[in-house]
Structure 1
Amino acid sequence: MSALPSLRQLRYLVAVSDKLNFTQAAESCFVTQSTLSAGIKELEATLGTRLVERERHSVMMTAVGAEVVARARRLLAEAEDLTEWARNAERPMSGLLRLGVIPTIAPFLLPAVLPEVRSRYPELKLALREDLTANLLARLATGQIDFALIALPYDTGNLQVYPLFDEELLLIAPAGREADMPRDIGKLDPEALLLLEEGHCLRGHTLGGCRLDEPRVTGMEATSLFTLAQMVEGGLGMALLPDMTLRSGLLGHMMNLVAHRFSEPRPRRTIALVARSSNARQECFARLAELIAGQAPQSRTDKTDGTGT
């Protein structure tokens, strides 16, 4: 049987790829540079190919090295999953859980979720990271976080997906422009629609819900939902916001805005919890998903059709 790379060697290679500097890579692995260099040479000998090109003042990965790094990241993540599974087999709702959450969910849903987690599972310690969906899924794939709370539709590849609840997107506009707020989303003026900047999945959900192609770049794009609401209040246009955003009181101090619910088919997004397919904390994944689903905002009643928050 052929010799196999060790996890330590793969970790050294990933560190070199991340830092492109042997000294910094060794420091990140808490070993000496000579130990790290020897590990890389042993790995190259085991695989029978050169992985790193090292010149006097530069370091770069070979084409094979880059592919080995990509596979090594997945192997290391699965090894960590194995360790976590063994460690938490008897006590699934304990220990550290690293949860990623997108910015259009975190400040609006977590205030209800976190107290419930602390109350029901006091031995579970959540470490939160707020970031854009693409960044969270990249961290998930490499084992830097355990689960991610995102909004669908979004390409999740082979990740494990637990849909939690659907949520409507409502139209907001400055007070006095109620006549410009159509009940049929197909009649919405695309020129009046304001969006979040590239990278926010709500941008795609808005365009998809309105059945619009990507618009021309106008320079008027918001970096957050709060900024988007301020732009609307300033008379720059209208925007679609998630229902949980409005329920959180985001518009409470913006007295010059009104919210409007479309007739069917209404634009929606689906809130979901995702994990790696190799996720070893299945019971924790299921319990946390059920807890979050239990905090889903109740659907708005018919009396909110039309304008008003």
Structure 2
Amino acid sequence: MDSLSLRQLRYFVALAEEGGFGRAAEAVHVTQPALSQQIRALEESLGARLVERLPREVLLTPAGHEVLGRARHILSEVGELAQAVRWREGLARRLNLGVIPTVAPYLLPLALTRIRSRDLTMELRVREAQTERLVEELRRGRLDAAVMALPLPAPGLVARPIATDRFLLAGSRSRLAAMAAGAEALRPKALTPDQLLLLDEGHCLADQALEVCGLSSRRQVDLGASSLSTLVGLVAEGYGVTLLPELAVRMESAAAPQLALLRFAAPEPARELALVRRESSSDTGWMEELGALLEEAAAELIDGARADHARVA
């Protein structure tokens, strides 16, 4: 058997995931002929046909499925090796960090300033994506760690808590004033699907909002949005209400001066944010160090929100 290469394995995994030579070539930043040549070389080395080449797609053969699982494992191990070397002296060299979209624009500016001041030579690579995508990239070794909401969404992960981020009710001043006057204690379960605007499906914040409000489904006419800023703009103009995390309060309030906020009665609904890594990855103390920096940045934002906004709208 001719020697295999990591390049061939990476190209094959990309082909299996993308389902076509053109898309796979784009994903790994090579030409389609170059990728096709490496796949054929891999097949020749293994002495087995790995893919069925159809006009518009490729399908894995039984041998291809076997190779795919082993290739992913090999590439993951290589990623672990590289990570162990990078982190041998703690938080240094390069950081591949993922962050969910309802945290990234608020936490990152403060957090990255602290990380940079800790080590100006560090190369920072930040990936903003929804939880499912971050977990997949953690699993593949493309991320060292990710900031997301608990509970852990998959096995094989460990978490370092960084913040308890409470939810406030956000809406127009007139709408929230009427809601505050109509109840002695505002509770999430008093909201109905007709009132509540949510992020698009796939955002964990949308699922959390449904859960804390005791709702099993979205409204029939759903004005879901792809970003928290879009939701804030809608509710500030009177289009329903939404739940706004304390982490986002200062930035979103500044962007929408007409926005009103109302605190819920105790116990206030909240999400738990954490720094997450693979259980199998090497930890020489960097996770605690990074977690402490993120915790410090989150505390500044959350403490500010709690100081600025009392229970009244």
Instruction: Indicate yes or no: 2:311 matched with 1:306.
Output: yes
2:42 to 39, 42, 49: 39
Task: Give, in angstroms, the shift of residue 202 of structure 1.
Answer: 0.6
Instruction: Indicate yes or no: 2:265 matched with 1:263.
Output: yes
Q: Matched residues in 2 for 1:37 and 1:102: separation?
A: 38
Could you tell me which residue of structure 1 aligns to residue 13 of structure 2? 14
2:279 to 254, 259, 277: 277
Task: Give, in angstroms, the shift of residue 225 of structure 1.
Answer: 0.9
Could you tell me which residue of structure 1 aligns to residue 61 of structure 2? 62
Instruction: Indicate yes or no: 2:126 matched with 1:123.
Output: no
Query: Which AA in structure 2 matches 1:268?
Result: A
Instruction: Indicate yes or no: 2:295 matched with 1:290.
Output: no
Q: Matched residues in 1 for 2:306 and 2:87: separation?
A: 43
User: Relative to structure 1, is the Cα distance of residues 71 and 168 closer, same or farther in structure 2, using a 3 angstrom cutoff?
Assistant: farther
Task: Give, in angstroms, the shift of residue 65 of structure 1.
Answer: 2.1
Segment drifting more, 170-179 vs 64-73: 64-73
Could you tell me which residue of structure 1 aligns to residue 82 of structure 2? 83
Conserved 8 A contact 1:206-1:267: no
2:101 to 103, 125, 142: 103
Could you tell me which residue of structure 1 aligns to residue 156 of structure 2? 158
Q: Matched residues in 1 for 2:192 and 2:38: separation?
A: 63
Conserved 8 A contact 2:162-2:274: yes
User: Relative to structure 1, is the Cα distance of residues 107 and 58 closer, same or farther in structure 2, using a 3 angstrom cutoff?
Assistant: closer
Q: Matched residues in 2 for 1:180 and 1:200: separation?
A: 27
1:141 to 139, 142, 147: 139
Conserved 8 A contact 1:9-1:40: no
2:253 aligned counterpart, secondary structure: coil
Could you tell me which residue of structure 2 aligns to residue 196 of structure 1? 199
Q: Matched residues in 1 for 2:61 and 2:233: separation?
A: 48
Conserved 8 A contact 1:26-1:36: no
Query: Which AA in structure 2 matches 1:224?
Result: S
Conserved 8 A contact 2:171-2:240: yes
Question: How many residues matched?
Answer: 301
- For normalisation by structure 1, the TM-score amounts to 0.85
Q: Matched residues in 2 for 1:260 and 1:7: separation?
A: 55
Conserved 8 A contact 1:173-1:258: yes
Conserved 8 A contact 1:100-1:149: yes
User: Relative to structure 1, is the Cα distance of residues 195 and 203 closer, same or farther in structure 2, using a 3 angstrom cutoff?
Assistant: same
1:192 aligned counterpart, secondary structure: coil
Cα deviation digits, residues 69-113 of structure 1 (max 9, x gap)? 244223312211112213442x33222211111111111111111
Structure 2: any 5+ residue segments left out of the alignment?
Answer: none
Could you tell me which residue of structure 2 aligns to residue 187 of structure 1? 190
2:153 aligned counterpart, secondary structure: coil
User: Relative to structure 1, is the Cα distance of residues 97 and 26 closer, same or farther in structure 2, using a 3 angstrom cutoff?
Assistant: closer
Structure (1 or 2) with the greater helix fraction: 2
Q: Matched residues in 1 for 2:97 and 2:188: separation?
A: 35
- Percent identical among aligned pairs is 34
Could you tell me which residue of structure 1 aligns to residue 247 of structure 2? 244
Segment drifting more, 273-282 vs 294-303: 294-303
Q: Matched residues in 1 for 2:57 and 2:21: separation?
A: 8
- For normalisation by structure 2, the TM-score amounts to 0.84
Could you tell me which residue of structure 1 aligns to residue 52 of structure 2? 53
Structure 1: any 5+ residue segments left out of the alignment?
Answer: none
Conserved 8 A contact 1:258-1:307: no
